[in-house]
């Protein structure tokens, strides 16, 4: 039995331009406009049997705007950045350069007093592995780009350092198929995406 989990990256907010840790700003007008432009491609995902989202305002708003009526999943929250919450990487580096270096170099480091990268990846992977398994079950999850990066590292059993090399753009979609710790990344052409979830 295989699941099909399609992650949709939340639309941007004005604060995402500065890439702040644990940004919880709502969608700005540009974000709403992006959702409207992408709706034609993303609306068919509303047919998924299960629809989820990260607890951030922009993830919830993106899912609602696309007609998903998603169920908030706390396990899909962003990485707990402890005392760096709300900072940019540059701001954290200016305040605690050694701690930032440790955090970037060691996936087990929680130098900020929050969650390590490894713990974050494991939490998101645990959510993925505990989805209800029914053959052909389709799931859509609107999440922050960081959450999708963590899910991909977990699904591919890639080294945690791979997280830093993944670029997830607003309103992009990424699909994994499988179940219970055995996942595959699925690439689809435009024609295949238009005809099925």
> Is the pLDDT confidence value at 116 over 80?
yes
Q: What's this model's pTM, rounded to 2 decimal places?
A: 0.89
The reported pLDDT for the residue numbered 25 is 75
> Is the pLDDT confidence value at 16 over 50?
no
Q: How many angstroms separate the CA atoms of 173 and 72, rounded?
A: 18
Specify whether the CB–CB gap between 35 and 107 falls below 8 A: no
Residues 6+ apart with CB under 8 A from 33: none
pLDDT digits (tens, 9 = 90+) for 94-104: 999 999 999 99
> Is the pLDDT confidence value at 126 over 90?
yes
> Is the pLDDT confidence value at 21 over 80?
no
Q: How many angstroms separate the CA atoms of 95 and 191, rounded?
A: 49
Mean pLDDT of 128-138: 82
pLDDT digits (tens, 9 = 90+) for 37-80: 999 999 999 999 999 999 999 999 999 999 999 999 999 999 99
């Amino acid at each position: 039995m295989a699941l099909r989990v399609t992650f949709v990256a939340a639309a941007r907010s004005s604060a995402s331009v500065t890439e702040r840790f644990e940004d919880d700003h709502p969608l700005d007008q540009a974000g709403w406009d992006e959702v409207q432009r992408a709706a034609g491609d993303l609306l068919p995902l509303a047919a998924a049997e299960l629809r989820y989202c990260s607890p951030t305002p922009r993830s919830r708003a993106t899912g609602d705007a696309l007609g998903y009526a998603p169920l908030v999943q706390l396990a899909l929250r962003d990485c707990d950045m402890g005392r760096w919450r709300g900072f940019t990487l540059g701001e954290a580096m200016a305040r605690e350069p050694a701690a930032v270096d440790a955090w970037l170099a060691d996936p087990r480091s929680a130098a900020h007093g929050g969650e390590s990268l490894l713990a974050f990846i494991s939490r998101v992977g645990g959510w993925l592995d505990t989805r209800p398994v029914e053959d052909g079950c389709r799931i859509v999850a609107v999440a922050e780009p960081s959450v999708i990066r963590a899910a991909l590292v977990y699904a591919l059993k890639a080294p945690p350092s791979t997280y830093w090399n993944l670029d997830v753009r607003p309103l992009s979609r990424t699909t994994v198929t499988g179940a219970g710790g055995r996942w595959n990344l699925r690439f689809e052409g435009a024609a295949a995406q238009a005809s099925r979830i």
